[in-house]
Amino acid sequence: MKTQFTRLRGMQDQVLGSVAPWQQLERSVQQAMHAYGYGEMRTPLLERTSLFKRSIGESTDIVEKEMYTFADRNDELLTLRPENTAGCVRAAIENGLLQPGSVSRVWYSGPMFRYERPQLGRLRQFHQTGAEVYGLAGPEIEAELILLSARLWRELGIGDAVQLEINTLGDADDRAVYRDKLVAYFSEHADELDEDSQRRLERNPLRILDSKNPAMQDLIASAPALRDSLSEASLAHFDQLKALLLGAGITPIENSRLVRGLDYYSHTVFEWTTDKLGSQSAVCAGGRYDGLMEQMGAKNMPGVGWAFGMERVIALMEALEVTHERATPDVFVMVTDEVSSADSLALAEWVRKLVPGHSVLHNTIAGSLKSQFRKADKSGATVALVVGSQEQADGTVTLKPLLGGGEQGTVARSDLLTYLERLLLP
């Protein structure tokens, strides 16, 4: 139906059946986070613009061109969160989580907003689930976070379709050394730089390495490697992480061009990628961000985390046909003219108490049994129940299995639970 109002470009409705894989994913996320001892954080979708500028960095794609920013009625500049590492750190500081010596493991899930060109796998309102750990500086916690994500992929049935890529950016000192080398190299080749890269040369030369412009790739490939500027300690951190991952059965691909688009990373950065989703191949991304807390006004404290795009994970689940949630009722309660609607309503209530956790749909509208059976079949329910005047008088229920054959029959109310339990076995 044509309507006067349509949803905004790059934003999606999830309607009825399409919500099922989301619920499956959300359940697996909750289980995995619980299994690793991570606690949930729920923060506002709207934050001060300055929060994102300060944390993500002024010269990043997100802050330069992707944020939904507006002035509210009081002329305060606000932004719909484009990611949630900044919001979580803000909340952790504000709620006193970041005490010296303390460790917090947190996770979140929800909508993010970026003004990008909408295309397959790229939306303006999309959703991320993320995990963050504050207070641990060693590579063990990076390994734990990566194992947590790997377990989730396995649980969801997409483990074989994703590959871990890792790199190290070293610490701030390493990067200062490297930055100078890069500026020297790219300045020598200034005439080969595209417009974006020219702008980045002064402000954020590392981001040139992140360019997706095909014309820039040769120049980038010959640039000095960050590896050669890393200190012994940084290299040791990275080697330890790789050893921990290998020991846990995860073989990462080292990708020295992986720099990530945000300014706050240091040491380890990583991405889970797939070749099953066309050009939007990044499923999950993360890294260490020591220095962010201090940048945001807290005491210096290490941090590390990742976030995955829920739409992309669901697209992968659908491509691999591993979704299994059904948005259908289990029991369909019919309504006959022979008994009062109060009676059929009471029957449905009673059945809900008998088989908690199952979905019991009360048809509400009386009609011919034939049309109600048709509707029950269409609903995908496992079993239909009918109570007419005879059943009412006898204290029985007529029960018809709708899936997998099975005879229609009339059973005593006291036996109904036994029948339903057998029929509703998963």
Residue ranges that bind ligand ATP, judged by CB under 6 A: 83, 114, 116, 121-123, 126, 128, 261, 280, 282-285, 307-309, 311-312
In the complex, least distance from residue 55 CB atom to ligand ATP, rounded to whole angstroms: 12
Buried b (16+ CB within 10 A) or exposed e, 222-247: ebeebbebbeeebeebbeebbebbee
In the complex, least distance from residue 403 CB atom to ligand ATP, rounded to whole angstroms: 37
CB atoms within 10 A of CB 12: 15
Smaller CB separation from ligand ATP, 28 or 372: 28
Please give the residue whose beta carbon sits closest to ligand ATP in the complex.
309
Please check whether residue 149 is in contact with residue 306, taking contact to mean a CB–CB distance below 8 angstroms.
yes
Give residue 121's region: left, alpha or beta (phi > 0; psi -120 to 50).
left
Smaller CB separation from ligand ATP, 11 or 365: 11
In the complex, least distance from residue 122 CB atom to ligand ATP, rounded to whole angstroms: 4
What are the distances in angstroms from CA 52 to CA 47, 72, 236, 351? 8, 17, 32, 51
Smaller CB separation from ligand ATP, 55 or 336: 55
Smaller CB separation from ligand ATP, 81 or 312: 312
Give residue 157's region: left, alpha or beta (phi > 0; psi -120 to 50).
left
Smaller CB separation from ligand ATP, 305 or 329: 305
What are the distances in angstroms from CA 402 to CA 262, 288, 378, 425? 54, 53, 10, 14
d(CA 112, CA 129): 10
Question: Where do the DSSP E strands lie in 303-402?
Answer: 303-309, 331-333, 360-362, 383-386, 396-401
Smaller CB separation from ligand ATP, 121 or 291: 121
Listed residue (57, 30, 47) closest to 88, CA to CA: 47
Smaller CB separation from ligand ATP, 82 or 302: 82
In the complex, least distance from residue 381 CB atom to ligand ATP, rounded to whole angstroms: 35
In the complex, least distance from residue 41 CB atom to ligand ATP, rounded to whole angstroms: 17
In the complex, least distance from residue 130 CB atom to ligand ATP, rounded to whole angstroms: 8
CA atoms in the 13 A half-sphere facing the CB of 263? 22
In the complex, least distance from residue 158 CB atom to ligand ATP, rounded to whole angstroms: 13
